[in-house]
Amino acid sequence: MNKKHMKLGAMAFVAWYVISRPEGAANLVNSALGGLGGAAESLSQFVSAIP
């Protein structure tokens, strides 16, 4: 398979997952954004601690 087919397959799987389990998809997005927020806060604290 080439990259185009892999990309289309991944998009189809995401669409199927969102349609079949919207609560699970919302939880996945929520936890991913929470993790990014935590990483950004940690990076901010690190940069603030540099003299």
DSSP letter at 1?
A: -
List alpha helices for 1-51, DSSP H.
3-20, 22-49
Band of residue 28 on the pLDDT scale cut at 50, 70, 90: confident
Q: Is this structure's pTM higher than 0.75?
A: no
All structural domains of the chain with their residue ranges: 22-51
Residues 31 and 49: their CA atoms lie apart, in Å, by 27
Question: What is the reported pLDDT for 1?
Answer: 65
Q: What is the mean pLDDT of residues 28-40?
A: 92
Residues 49 and 42: their CA atoms lie apart, in Å, by 11
Q: CA angle 35-36-40, nearest 5°?
A: 120
* Long-range interactions of 26-34: CB distance < 8 A, separation 24+: none
